[in-house]
Structure 1
Amino acid sequence: MERWFSRITMFWMLFLGEVQSQDWTKCSTGCTCDGNKMSVTCNGLKNVPNDIQKDAKKLDLKYNSLSKLDPTAFHGLNKLTYLDLQWNELQTLPAGVFDQFVTLETLRINDNQLQTLPVGVFDHLVNLDKLYLRQNQLKSLPPGIFDKLTRLTILWLSENKLHRLPEGVFDKLTELKTLRLRNNQLRSVPDKAFDKLSKLETIFLTGNDWDCESCDILYLSQWIRENGDIVKDSSGSYTDPDGVTCQGTMESVNKITKENTFQAGCPTTTQQMATSPASTTTTETMTVREKQTKPRMKIFQEELFSKASIFFCQVIFTQHVSLVVIHILAEIPLLHIVCVVRKP
């Protein structure tokens, strides 16, 4: 009996010790905690609490009044898999704010006022699966901003003010399935911008300022023609490649080609090679080859003219041709020059 009582007592001590170590018996001010799911939800805050449970896996901070984040706001929360910051007033993100989120899978920062993103702000989110940046005020993206997010499957960038995309900005996102770029100010996309997105299933491109009078639109036009089945309408309910239209017109971007529009003046691949620094040697080599492969008839004609001129001049200067004839012939510029040059 005593042994049984001793075991029960030890069990309760261990249980209470575990609960106390996780500290789920209390929650941060302004927050509610669900110990079973290790979920924390906070409302009515202007700052992120500094005593959030360290074992939390889900942190919901949406619909607060967060206007800025301390660089160490989330330090110690290295078990989070879900962070929701949407519907706040964030204008920027401090560098390093997400550096301890090595297990994070979902990050929602949509519906804020972000104007810029620090270089490398997402570099430690190596397990991130979903990133939502919709409805902000982003005008540009830093080069390589998504390079470390190799497991990302969903990326929302719609409803921003993006007017350009960096070269290769999506090249590392080989697992991406959904990309939203609608309702920005994009005029074109870089050459080969989507070529590495081999698993892409859905893309939203409507509501941009696509400039169909620029040669830069040709890549996007061809890409839409070849991938029209994944180009969706604004609701995402059906396929609509023709819905991606040129700025100021209702003409579909996928109808723009070099052959049938004003794009006929765009440089061809050959012309681009000829004007690029790397092709200088090639161009010079081609010039030499052209000289070396000059038609034989032209060479024969030049040699014949040379021999004939020599003979003619010899006749003039050695056979006592009258001075009258010489003066007459000298009036012909070519003969005059040839003979003077070849005079013995």
Structure 2
Amino acid sequence: MERWFSRITMFWMLFLGEVQSQDWTKCSTGCTCDGNKMSVTCNGLKNVPNDIQKDAKELRLEYNSLSKLSPTAFHSLTSLTLLSLDGNELQTLPAGVFDHLVNLDKLYLRQNQLKSLPSKIFDSLTKLTLLRLENNKLQSLPHGVFDKLTELKTLYLRSNQLRRVPEGIFDSLSSLSTVRLDNNDWDCTSCDILYLSQWIRGNGEKIKTSNAGYTDPDGVTCQGTMESVNKITKENTFQAGCPTTTQQMATSPASTTTTETMTVREKQTKPRMKIFQEELFSKASIFFCQVIFTQHVSLVVIHILAEIPLLHIVCVVRKP
């Protein structure tokens, strides 16, 4: 009897402990909780609390003093649909930090100090519809970093230090309707800019330059000039030597790239050489014909000479 009583007591203790862990009347230090919205908002923190309600739907950690995140900081919060880390001091994101947030719909990372992103940092966020990365210090983006975000509708990359994007980086974003790319250091002297330029020309209605949704692809301009990125083509003066695709250039060794560029330039000079040869033969033909007629050579001889393959001479004349 005592054994059964002890088991029942243990059961109730465990049950009550679980209820208490989900009690929205008790909130983490430095945080406020809204049980109706299942939302947690924290201020004045240097680290992410480890006792946040596990069934929380929204976690707002904006404008704290977070300079780094534990790789497992959000692993127990699998119900989150919104996570805001705006206005912190994050310089990097640990690989796998978002791996368990499979229900996340909105992710805010703006106004941090991010210089780069891990290559697969967003791979688990297959339900994400909004991603804000503006006002950071991103200098580059990894290949395929957005490949799994097929539900993403809004992407903000404005006000970073991006000079180029990898070829094909936006190709998997089949649901994308809004993207902001303005106020970056787009390098229009590099062949790598050709993918972005072509993508903007084909998706101009998605390029926004204001929160009101004003569409203007020309808001994305080249570094140091006001020229629009979408006007840069391979035919431009400083793009004439680019390979057929920027992917070839990105995946080939430097020596191969140089060889490809030289080959392109050689092909471009061949028409000029051909024209020069034709002009030379034309002038030689006229001179040869004049000599023949000066010497009163018969038309029979002229026709015989015209049939010689090495000369390629055609004279259309009248007998004087």
| The two structures share one fold, judged by TM-score above 0.5 | yes
Is the counterpart of residue 132 in structure 1 residue 111 in structure 2? no
Q: Secondary structure at the match of 1:229?
A: helix
User: Does 1:265 find its partner at 2:241?
Assistant: yes
Task: Tell me by how many angstroms 1:268 deviates.
Answer: 1.8
For 1:293, the equivalent position in structure 2 comes to: none
Deviations 1:227-282 (A, max 9, x none): 00010014343001011000000000000000133101001259949x969xx9xx
Identity of aligned residues (%): 66
Alpha-carbon contact 2:31-2:40 (below 8 Å) kept: no
In the TM superposition, residue 30 of structure 1 has moved relative to its aligned partner by 5.8
User: 1:265 aligns to what SS in structure 2?
Assistant: coil
Between the two proteins, the alignment pairs up a number of residues equal to 236
Q: Partners in 1 of 2:117 and 2:246 — Cα distance?
A: 32
- Between 123-132 and 21-30, the greater mean CA deviation after superposition: 21-30
Counterpart among 204, 208, 217 of residue 228 in structure 1: 204
Which letter maps to 1:67? K
CA distance in structure 1 between the aligned counterparts of 2:25 and 2:46, rounded to whole angstroms: 30
1:65 maps to amino acid: G
Q: Is the 8 A contact 1:122 1:149 kept in 2?
A: yes
Letter paired with 1:209: D
Residue 58 in 1 paired to residue 39 in 2? yes
> 1:163 corresponds to which residue?
139
Amino acid corresponding to residue 113 of structure 1 in structure 2: E
Provide the rounded CA distance (Å) in 1 between the counterparts of 2:143 and 2:51.
33
Find the aligned partners of 1:183 and 1:208 in 2 and give their Cα distance: 6
Aligned to 2:84: 108
2:260 paired residue number: none
Say if 1:33 and 1:107 are closer, same or farther in 2 by CA, change over 3 A. Answer: closer
Q: Do the aligned partners of residues 127 and 232 (structure 1) sit closer, same or farther apart at CA in structure 2, a change above 3 Å counting?
A: same
Residues 75 and 100, structure 1, Cα contact 8 Å, conserved in 2 = no
Q: Is the 8 A contact 1:77 1:100 kept in 2?
A: no
TM (norm. structure 2) is: 0.68
Contact 2:165 2:196 in 1 (8 A): yes
TM-score using structure 1 length: 0.63
Contact 1:182 / 1:234 at 8 angstroms: preserved in 2? no
Among 68, 73, 87, the alignment partner of 2:47 is: 68
Residues 171, 236 of structure 1: alpha-carbon distance in 2 compared, 3 angstrom cutoff: farther
* Residue in structure 1 matched with residue 185 of structure 2 by the alignment: 209
CA spacing shift, 1:28–1:199, aligned 2, 3 Å = closer
Tell me the CA shift for residue 75 of structure 1. Answer: 4.8
Structure 2: runs of 5 or more not aligned: 1-15, 257-320
**Pair 183,24 (structure 1): closer, same or farther in 2 beyond 3 Å:** closer
Change (3 A) 1:209 1:80: same
Conserved? CA contact 2:192–2:246, under 8 Å:
no
Distance change >3 Å, CA 23–CA 125, structure 1 → 2? closer
Q: Which amino acid aligns with 1:230?
A: K
Q: Is the 8 A contact 2:33 2:40 kept in 1?
A: no
Aligned partner letter, 2:41: D
181, 185, 196: which one aligns with 2:161:
185
Give, in whole Å, the separation in 1 of the partners of 2:24 and 2:118. 40
Q: Which amino acid aligns with 1:58?
A: S
Paired letter, 1:60? T
Q: Measure, in 1, the Cα distance between the counterparts of 2:219 and 2:140.
A: 20
| Cα distance change on mapping 1:272 and 1:96 into 2, 3 Å | closer
Residue 126 of structure 1: how far off its partner (Å): 0.5
Cα distance in 1 for residues equivalent to 2:112 and 2:129: 20
- Aligned residues of 2:30 and 2:45 also touching (Cα < 8 A): no
Query: Over aligned residues, Cα RMSD in angstroms?
Result: 2.7
Aligned to 1:172: 148
* Equivalent residue letter for 1:103: S
